Structure 1
Amino acid sequence: MLKFGSRGDSNIVHKCTVRLLEDTEILECEYKPHSKGKYLLDYVCQQLNLVEQDYLGLRYVDINEQRHWLDLGKSIAKQVKDLDPVLFSFRIKFYPPDPFKVKEEITRYQLFLQVKRDLLHGRLYCVPNEAAQLAAYIVQWELGDHDPEIHYGNYVSDLRILIKQTEAIEEKAMEIHQKQLKGQTPEQMENMFMKLAAQLDTYGIDPHSVKDHKSSQLYLGINYSGILTIQGSKKTHHFRWLDIQKINYEGKMFIIHLNYNDKKHTVGFKCPTGAACRHVWRCAMEQMLFFTLNKSSDAPIVSGGGFFSWGTKFKYTGRTEKEIREDTNSPDREEPNIQRTASLRRKASSVPATPSTPLQPHLGYNNLTRSSHSDAGGSRMEPCSSSGLCSGLDGQIYADVAGLETVCEDQEGSGMTKLRTTVLKDDSMDRFSDYYFRDSFEHSSSESQLNLASFGRSSVYEPTTARSSRSQTPLLSHSTVDGRACVPNNHGAAKAAPTTPRGGRRFNVVKAFVPSFVIVTTLVLASTIVLMESESDALTGLRATPEINSLRYQVYEPLKQYIRAIWARLFS
């Protein structure tokens, strides 16, 4: 197959940074212009010694602050072409309904880290008793058995476990830690934590901010069971995949077509932007296909937009959950060792500047960087300051012209000024902003019944015209120099790649002119047919002009007869 591009493209190497589930760890990776997304995910999983990759993914945020999952079947460079530096976040993309059916413990450990992160950043919503129980498991996992000589006072307050960590919850967590969990190992704590967390309604969801038909703010959560709506601190509706017939969008409106109790319903939710709406639609489609298809080969090429929704089609890649469960071939290797390291006392690591412009192939980078490492540069572990970089919850990062310094995650909501010179964001920009515990909130593991009548008639949307804990791992088979992984240099220095303006979106010729061309062509054809076929007296004078007569007998009539002949042959 012919590939267009410079012969020197094979020498160009791009650099990116991948943040792992523990923010104290990052990977610095390289990819070439034609490398697909799967190449980067394979590389990260190899570094983490993971072979069960089906549940995993990489997220990034574009220059318009919109989140995306890296498409494994498309070129990395094309997906992040406007980003400089390039920052990915390694995350669980598909949360398994039963975490204990995941085959390898090292994969379940990554899932534990993700759900622990969800609890910290407000995505795993639970009532106070559940929060205290989960917190106690994490305390035992972090600190081990209670020792009165070491653990005195409110020792839980030193740990960042919950987004809203009240004294009452801390006291309850300490009581459970001291009286119920003595002798429990970290592995047992992980299992107990996951067993409780997997029962919660908000397990495995990434909240998307939307508005309903009353313009009320709420969140859509999408996971293995379907699409949930969450308002305030309560789950209001649950649209199951079995009841959903179709998902599409129009502009900013995300639309769910339901068949519930043998009746068809259409419910719409308004997203903040068109790009956010497309992201919600794509996330919903991927989750639905992953958890409902028998095999990935059954996945069609789907498009959720209207006629003028260019670039919205996608083909599902990877295996489905059913294929994973039916795969009886266990990984042919010994169970890898897992390094568990207490992490909640530590700040996030320094994330270095990671330019996406091509680098010379002979330059290498440390494959794994930790905050505990010291180097010549001496990355400092210090609080966020106005002259450096801070991240909000779940890694919302702001950098000024001085470059990237320290990453921390405890500043969102503090009213700090967002520095817009360079904006990098982690994978979770949506969260439950009004997250707090209410005693009146029903037990979060209970199922609320779908009541479409509560939406009211106005909710039925009629389309109109108008988101240091790793295993000991081998490195990839690159040559190494001074501990750095290197890519062989076959042709000398790499060519510099053209830079892309970062002030806004690129002007897209197709999106700008094709819709106009189609509309104008349709109007011209319709007007010509009306003029030639109509017997209206108002058009008699116009039809009698020499130009129209010439057009009629030299072009229109021959074309008309040709179409009639084709039609007759096809249907005779």
Structure 2
Amino acid sequence: MFKSRGDIVYKCTVRLLEDTEILECEFHPSYKGKYLLEHVCQQLNLTETDYFGLRYVDAGGQRHWLHLAKLILKQVKDASPILFSFRVKFYPPNPLLLKEDVTRFQIYLQLKRDLLHGRLYCTSNEAAMLGALIIQIELGDYDPNIHVGNYVTEMRLLLRQTDAIEGRIQELHREPVEGTPGGSGGVKGMSTQEAERTFLKIACQLDTYGVDPHPVKDHRGNQLYLGINHSGILTFQGSRKTHHFKWSEVSKINFEGRMFIVHLNYPEKKHTVGFKCPCGAACRHVWCCAIEQMLFFTLASSSDACVYSGGGLFSWGTKFKYCGRTEREILERDGLLAPRDSQEDHSSGGKRKASSVPATPSTPMTGDFGYSSLPRSTHSAPLEESGGLGGGELCNGGCLLAGPAVDIALAPQDSRPADKPVSCGTTEYVVRDSCSPSSSESGGTAVTTAPGEEWRAPPAVLQPAPRPFSLLRAFVPSFLFVWLSLALAALVLFETDWPPLRPLKRKPELVSLRHHYYAPLKEYLKRKVVELF
């Protein structure tokens, strides 16, 4: 921090998607998060800024996304030095539809990073193909005079980079593209842009595309990882996908203490699913991430959308205000979706009728709504039809939740989960604990543990999610209620001339109370109000 032209200016460091690249930025105390993000995007020549965000780690080790509508300094007041990480916040369902090449390149860098840190699960064949495409993008066509020996080893591409996969990557790098003379399904002959598009095409169809795993526990205390992306909320046990709750099935999301709660609405029945997070701060972070992802990919318009969670006589409510455009607004702006007005006019022969568009959650009549009115339709553009790239199947890692949803009640276990390696094919990956930030964000070193056994999901139990009781939450509202009641009673007693209260006002105790305490306090408050206005 230093003074410049009489104003206080703060310095911060922003790490880009390549860890070797950083930006040194400055901001004033009055600047909001939007200024810093726009400044970073401007330095990167990015115009499609809505998909990106800045992440930071607080003093307690909890990660947060920098809120664009709030003051930067207020969000990072305890951080020293101030360090941000530029990351993809909203992974587009089909990155090939992005307008700018530079935006697709940033998405590619993020996915390359996800692959290296074990957040992007795939089969061995897919891992080899993705690795070969990275080699093709960064080194170009295979040249026997340049690419000698085991040159793949020098490049870190995968979290568990075995000799077998490295050999397969080299084979694919040497083999020509399928469809060319002598082509056998390799990557030789692809231009940088073609290889990048092929990489994005494969990656965006994987189950863990756009998933930042959050550690949670089920009702048996088993370790799960919660993923949130454009398609909904997913749960993983090891490499196995156990549940997938689509946004169209989610009616509302809230949290209580360390419990993250998802309310599902099926034709057969309504269900409540609960997950226990390691701490209250982690639970609120998961809730904020889920709310933002849901609003971005399902909301028709972002006009002052506010979401509330909790609240009541014995619990604190949390308000989250969404800031920025939604995916539908971006697609409409880029001409990939017809504007809503034209869609409405088309059905009525060019004459818009007020009753032609019913008030549904996806077309809210007001911008400000409660969390129980979250949108439940998706406007994501369809994916392109995929070809036979890589010769491998998609790694589903498990099965989708079939039939009615189940309720999961969680046991009160406080132990913090450790990073758990998982396997997919012959390649092992590690799911990083979202409460333990990566080394690029916190300056620490990532630590992994030994591989664990693969787990098969047990039959879920139909139980309601418990509502935790907090003594502090019960005491503070009660304390405030008592004092407000006493203040109101004093006003009625000393400021009114109600006949039934006259005998009570003449009592010596109340006369002394009014003379020594009430009257001086009244005069003091009156002076302060006059000075204020």
- TM-score scaled by length of structure 1: 0.62
1:83 aligns with 2:79: yes
Secondary structure of the residue that 2:102 maps to in structure 1?
A: helix
Q: Structure 1 residues 435, 104: CA separation in 2 closer, same or farther (over 3 Å shift)?
A: farther
Q: Structure 1 residues 131, 74: CA separation in 2 closer, same or farther (over 3 Å shift)?
A: same
1:27 to partner: Cα distance: 0.3
1:244 aligns with 2:250: yes
Verify the 8 A CA contact 1:250 1:306 in the aligned structure 2. no
1:191 aligns with 2:197: yes
1:454 matched residue in structure 2: 459
Q: Structure 1 residues 12, 308: CA separation in 2 closer, same or farther (over 3 Å shift)?
A: farther
Alignment RMSD (CA, Å): 3.5
1:100 to partner: Cα distance: 1.1
Verify the 8 A CA contact 1:266 1:462 in the aligned structure 2. no
Secondary structure of the residue that 2:73 maps to in structure 1?
A: helix
Letter in 2 for 1:246: K
1:463 aligns with 2:422: no
1:265 aligns with 2:271: yes
Q: Structure 1 residues 206, 274: CA separation in 2 closer, same or farther (over 3 Å shift)?
A: same
Which runs of 5 or more structure 2 residues have no equivalent in the other structure? 176-185, 337-435, 487-502, 512-533
Verify the 8 A CA contact 1:302 1:313 in the aligned structure 2. yes
Secondary structure of the residue that 1:122 maps to in structure 2?
A: coil
Secondary structure of the residue that 1:199 maps to in structure 2?
A: coil
1:262 to partner: Cα distance: 2.9
Q: Which of 174, 182, 192 is equivalent to 2:170? A: 174
2:95 matched residue in structure 1: 99
Q: Structure 1 residues 524, 311: CA separation in 2 closer, same or farther (over 3 Å shift)?
A: closer
1:61 aligns with 2:57: yes
Letter in 1 for 2:71: S
1:289 aligns with 2:323: no
Q: Aligned ranges for residues 167-566 of structure 1 at < 5 Å?
A: 167-179=163-175, 180-297=186-303, 299-304=305-310, 312-328=318-334, 393=438, 395=440, 397-398=442-443, 412-413=446-447, 454-458=459-463, 460-466=464-470, 516-522=475-481
Give the whole-Å Cα distance in 2 for the aligned partners of 1:8 and 1:192: 49
Give the whole-Å Cα distance in 2 for the aligned partners of 1:304 and 1:522: 19
Give the whole-Å Cα distance in 2 for the aligned partners of 1:78 and 1:9: 22
1:13 aligns with 2:9: yes
Q: Structure 1 residues 277, 392: CA separation in 2 closer, same or farther (over 3 Å shift)?
A: closer
Verify the 8 A CA contact 2:304 2:322 in the aligned structure 1. no
Letter in 2 for 1:164: R
Secondary structure of the residue that 1:325 maps to in structure 2?
A: helix
Letter in 1 for 2:70: K
The higher-RCO structure (CA 8 Å, 6+ apart) is 1
Q: Structure 1 residues 398, 26: CA separation in 2 closer, same or farther (over 3 Å shift)?
A: closer
1:32 matched residue in structure 2: 28
Letter in 2 for 1:172: R
Letter in 1 for 2:467: P
Give the whole-Å Cα distance in 2 for the aligned partners of 1:437 and 1:204: 25
1:71 to partner: Cα distance: 0.4
Q: Structure 1 residues 525, 62: CA separation in 2 closer, same or farther (over 3 Å shift)?
A: closer
Verify the 8 A CA contact 1:133 1:176 in the aligned structure 2. yes
**Cα distance per residue 1:163-202 (max 9 Å; x no partner):** 1111111111111111122121211111010000000010
Letter in 2 for 1:17: T
**Cα distance per residue 1:1-35 (max 9 Å; x no partner):** xxxxxx99971100000000111110000000010
Letter in 1 for 2:461: G
1:134 matched residue in structure 2: 130
Q: Structure 1 residues 232, 549: CA separation in 2 closer, same or farther (over 3 Å shift)?
A: farther
Q: Structure 1 residues 515, 189: CA separation in 2 closer, same or farther (over 3 Å shift)?
A: same
Secondary structure of the residue that 1:77 maps to in structure 2?
A: helix
Q: Structure 1 residues 524, 110: CA separation in 2 closer, same or farther (over 3 Å shift)?
A: closer
Q: Which of 41, 47, 50 is equivalent to 2:46? A: 50
Q: Structure 1 residues 318, 435: CA separation in 2 closer, same or farther (over 3 Å shift)?
A: farther
Verify the 8 A CA contact 1:249 1:305 in the aligned structure 2. no
2:159 matched residue in structure 1: 163
Letter in 2 for 1:163: L
Q: Structure 1 residues 282, 122: CA separation in 2 closer, same or farther (over 3 Å shift)?
A: same
Secondary structure of the residue that 1:395 maps to in structure 2?
A: helix
Secondary structure of the residue that 2:264 maps to in structure 1?
A: strand
Letter in 1 for 2:296: F
1:568 matched residue in structure 2: none
1:305 to partner: Cα distance: 5.8
Verify the 8 A CA contact 2:57 2:441 in the aligned structure 1. no
Give the whole-Å Cα distance in 2 for the aligned partners of 1:254 and 1:151: 50
Secondary structure of the residue that 1:146 maps to in structure 2?
A: coil
1:384 matched residue in structure 2: none
Verify the 8 A CA contact 1:241 1:288 in the aligned structure 2. yes
Letter in 2 for 1:413: V
Q: Structure 1 residues 191, 308: CA separation in 2 closer, same or farther (over 3 Å shift)?
A: farther
Letter in 2 for 1:286: E
**Cα distance per residue 1:371-423 (max 9 Å; x no partner):** xxxxxxxxxxxxxxxxxxxx985525447xxxxxxxxxxx5327xxxxxxxxx
Verify the 8 A CA contact 2:142 2:174 in the aligned structure 1. yes
Q: Structure 1 residues 218, 50: CA separation in 2 closer, same or farther (over 3 Å shift)?
A: same
Report % sequence identity. 58
Secondary structure of the residue that 1:117 maps to in structure 2?
A: helix
Q: Structure 1 residues 41, 119: CA separation in 2 closer, same or farther (over 3 Å shift)?
A: same
Verify the 8 A CA contact 1:10 1:32 in the aligned structure 2. no
Equivalenced residue count is 385
Give the whole-Å Cα distance in 2 for the aligned partners of 1:548 and 1:435: 77
Letter in 2 for 1:293: L
Verify the 8 A CA contact 1:137 1:193 in the aligned structure 2. yes
- TM-score scaled by length of structure 2: 0.66
Give the whole-Å Cα distance in 2 for the aligned partners of 1:519 and 1:110: 51
1:489 matched residue in structure 2: none
Give the whole-Å Cα distance in 2 for the aligned partners of 1:329 and 1:454: 46
Secondary structure of the residue that 2:137 maps to in structure 1?
A: helix
**Cα distance per residue 1:279-322 (max 9 Å; x no partner):** 00000000000000000016234335665665831210100000
